[in-house]
Chains A and B, each alone.
Chain A
Amino acid sequence: MKKIKRFFKLLLRSSTGTTGMVIVLGICLCAIFANQLAPHNPNEMDLMNMTKPPFWMNGGDLNNVLGTDNLGHDILSRMLYGARISLIVGILATLASGIVGMVLGLVSGYFGGLPDGIIMRVADAFFAIPGILLALVTLMVFKSSGILTLVLVIAAISWVPYARLIRSEVLRLKEKEYVKAAKTVGASSWFIIFNHILPNVWPSFIVISTMSVAGSILTETALSFLGVGIQAPLVSWGGMLSDGRVLLATHWWVATFPGIMITIAILGITFLGNWLRDVLDPHNKGL
């Protein structure tokens, strides 16, 4: 209880941290309560109201606050449902890449030698291909476009920074006296990793994970924009942008609002991540 209180006290002291938290909470609420908040079914086609402008423009009304696209879908409702997909993909991909990167980084850093050599060379190889390129080729090749495939592919292209960061942290921690002491009294490698190394790696892990959620969401929207990510009837922000692109010359709002939504979401997560980085930094006072 005391810790939670302290957490909020620290959060309220930072304006960017608070802004980030508010945005992230807002998007989470949108995603959770999309059913209740959305004024329309996101896949309901209203053929009488195709490409209706937002309410403040001529021809728009409050029934479709942000207008409709060329199939008469309500843009606001689709954006709310899109938040759901983006958050699910972002969080799951981060979890998957985080776990893989963490395990590989721990093994690589702690044991060194051949495992380290192999893991780091594989990491170099993954690092040499731009992630979006590898993801695009993989998704096209496997011809499957469920959420799970998307999550796995995004995880596969984003584990490298985790592995490298965790490895360098482990290399540093390995030289600490308490680790050496534990070794001297005969503690097993895995005991040392779980009890002495892991707890000290957490802060960096949390910070990089927050940033990774933002990165994964951006990758998901980009892949959906290219047409290999989320497929209809599921709604994604990237897909909405892709639909709006062809209507750009005549109906600007279709592509504009999802883009603003993505930007706000990423900004919020980045602010929160930056704040967490400052707070969890052992050189600052911390939590």
Chain B
Amino acid sequence: MGNYLLKRMLQIIPVLLILTFIIFCLVYVAGDPVALMLPPEAGETAKAALRKALGLDKPFAEQYLIYLGNLLRGNFGTSYVYNQDALSLVLERIPYSIELAMVSLCCSVVLGIVLGVAAAHFRNTPLDLFVNGLAALGQALPGFWVAIMLILLFAVQIPLLPVSGAGTWKHLVLPSATLTILTSSKIIPLIRSNMIEVMQQDYIRTARSKGLRSSVVVFKHAFKNTLVPVITIIAMQLPTLLGGALITETIFAWPGLGMLIYRGVANLDMTVVQAGVMAVAVITIMANLVSDIAYCLIDPTIKYQ
């Protein structure tokens, strides 16, 4: 296992290098930010001077190497729009994204487990059909439409909840409900099929033939063994919830990472975009690594080469 983990960690280095290259290329193509940084009446000489000061007149490869060197020193550059260190801007927003992601993830996992286990236990009954239908519907719904419909229902028709901003728990309800609907519908079928598989194992038959109550068999014997895929799901959904929730964050004006990146893209504030996308990518890679380690610890039958 030690060897496997070492190999896994070493693999992160080329992935990060490729990522920085992709992001750098996008920023390079976006063009130089000089026009945005200077007042409109600035002349060509002023522009050229600033370009030189920023190192934008250097060849592509050299600029990339300088960029890498800066990243290694934790220097992500300064936002042209906020006039603030890009990394600190990103770090300011991350807690909001984590708050939203955690609430949505907890609700989704609980909902996914309850409905998934119920559907598996009452397989091929109307309840199972209903849960399956619900999950299929949830996966087909476009996230931004769910958000809009929730606003229509709970803020326009019945004015219960605020539609934008952050601060109180009320602000959290609609965005996290949107993300919960989207995420739990992915979790339910996975838990269900996994539970069905576990329920057919020999030890479940043994437990049943011992005369244990059905609830004990389901929760004590079967359910524990469905927890392994739950970890994968959390690792897979966390990055989507943190960085990919940008549409939900934008619609509800939730001041998280997604909205920061979206605003950054709209303002062509590429240093912020760079720092934000890098942050999301690093979180994703870490989440995958942690889930792999968690596998080793939880399921001793998984073998690693």
Do A and B pair up? The answer is yes
Contacts A137-B273, A267-B140, A270-B136 given; indicate if A132 touches B239 (C-beta within 8 A): no
- Find the residue from B27, B246, B250 having the highest chain A CB count within 10 A: B246
B189's closest neighbor in chain A, by CB? A274
* B212 at interface, CB cutoff 8 A: no
10 smallest beta-carbon distances between A and B, as pairs: A130-B244, A259-B145, A266-B140, A125-B18, A128-B281, A267-B140, A128-B284, A141-B30, A124-B15, A121-B14
A185 to chain B, nearest CB (A): 31
How far does the alpha carbon of A136 sit from the alpha carbon of B264 in the complex, in Å?
Answer: 11
The answer on a CB contact under 8 Å between B244 and A133 is yes
The answer on a CB contact under 8 Å between A138 and B26 is yes
* B151 at interface, CB cutoff 8 A: yes
B239's closest neighbor in chain A, by CB? A130
How far does the alpha carbon of A33 sit from the alpha carbon of B247 in the complex, in Å?
Answer: 33
How far does the alpha carbon of A127 sit from the alpha carbon of B236 in the complex, in Å?
Answer: 10
**Contact of B142 (CB < 8 Å), options: A136, A252, A259, A270:** A259
The answer on a CB contact under 8 Å between A133 and B144 is no
A245's closest neighbor in chain B, by CB? B148
How far does the alpha carbon of A128 sit from the alpha carbon of B246 in the complex, in Å?
Answer: 15
Which residues on B sit within 8 Å (CB–CB) of A131?
244
**Contact of B145 (CB < 8 Å), options: A122, A252, A263, A267:** A263
- Find the residue from A127, A130, A132, A138 having the highest chain B CB count within 10 A: A130
* B106 at interface, CB cutoff 8 A: no
How far does the alpha carbon of A133 sit from the alpha carbon of B144 in the complex, in Å?
Answer: 15
A255's closest neighbor in chain B, by CB? B148
B144's closest neighbor in chain A, by CB? A225
Beyond the given A136-B262, A142-B29, A225-B144, could you list 15 further A-B residue pairs with CB under 8 A, ordered by the A residue number? A121-B18, A125-B19, A132-B246, A133-B258, A133-B280, A138-B26, A141-B26, A225-B142, A252-B156, A255-B145, A259-B145, A264-B140, A266-B140, A267-B136, A271-B136
The answer on a CB contact under 8 Å between B277 and A129 is yes
* A11 at interface, CB cutoff 8 A: no
Chain A-chain B contacts (Cβ-Cβ < 8 Å), number:
130
The answer on a CB contact under 8 Å between B244 and A270 is no
* A222 at interface, CB cutoff 8 A: yes
* B102 at interface, CB cutoff 8 A: no
How far does the alpha carbon of A251 sit from the alpha carbon of B266 in the complex, in Å?
Answer: 28
Which residues on B sit within 8 Å (CB–CB) of A134?
277
Q: Give me 5 A-to-B residue pairs in the complex whose CB atoms sit less than 8 angstroms apart, sorted by A's number.
A: A125-B16, A141-B30, A142-B29, A255-B152, A262-B145
**Contact of A226 (CB < 8 Å), options: B239, B247, B277:** B247
Which residues on B sit within 8 Å (CB–CB) of A222?
142-144, 247
A278 to chain B, nearest CB (A): 13
* B285 at interface, CB cutoff 8 A: yes
* A210 at interface, CB cutoff 8 A: no
Which residues on A sit within 8 Å (CB–CB) of B261?
133, 136-137
* A140 at interface, CB cutoff 8 A: yes
Count residues on chain B whose CB falls below 8 Å from chain A CBs: 45
The answer on a CB contact under 8 Å between A263 and B137 is yes
Chain B residues 68-117 with CB under 8 Å of chain A are none
How far does the alpha carbon of A255 sit from the alpha carbon of B152 in the complex, in Å?
Answer: 10
* B11 at interface, CB cutoff 8 A: yes
Which residues on A sit within 8 Å (CB–CB) of B143?
222
For the complex, would chain B's binding face be called helix, strand, loop or mixed by DSSP majority?
Answer: helix
How far does the alpha carbon of A131 sit from the alpha carbon of B132 in the complex, in Å?
Answer: 26
A284 to chain B, nearest CB (A): 15
The answer on a CB contact under 8 Å between A141 and B244 is no
The answer on a CB contact under 8 Å between A137 and B142 is no
Contacts A132-B247, A241-B145 given; indicate if A141 touches B11 (C-beta within 8 A): no
A252's closest neighbor in chain B, by CB? B152
A98 to chain B, nearest CB (A): 21
A91-120 interface bits toward B, Cβ cutoff 8 Å, 1 = contact, 0 = none: 000000000000000000000000000000
B270-291 interface bits toward A, Cβ cutoff 8 Å, 1 = contact, 0 = none: 0001000100110011000000
* B225 at interface, CB cutoff 8 A: no
**Contact of B18 (CB < 8 Å), options: A122, A218, A255:** A122
* B240 at interface, CB cutoff 8 A: yes
Which residues on B sit within 8 Å (CB–CB) of A122?
18
B246 to chain A, nearest CB (A): 6
* A181 at interface, CB cutoff 8 A: no
The answer on a CB contact under 8 Å between A129 and B19 is yes
The answer on a CB contact under 8 Å between B151 and A248 is yes
B273 to chain A, nearest CB (A): 6
How far does the alpha carbon of A130 sit from the alpha carbon of B279 in the complex, in Å?
Answer: 12
* A47 at interface, CB cutoff 8 A: no
B25 to chain A, nearest CB (A): 9
How far does the alpha carbon of A141 sit from the alpha carbon of B289 in the complex, in Å?
Answer: 31
The answer on a CB contact under 8 Å between A128 and B239 is yes
Which residues on A sit within 8 Å (CB–CB) of B29?
141-142
How far does the alpha carbon of A249 sit from the alpha carbon of B153 in the complex, in Å?
Answer: 10
Which residues on A sit within 8 Å (CB–CB) of B19?
125, 128-129
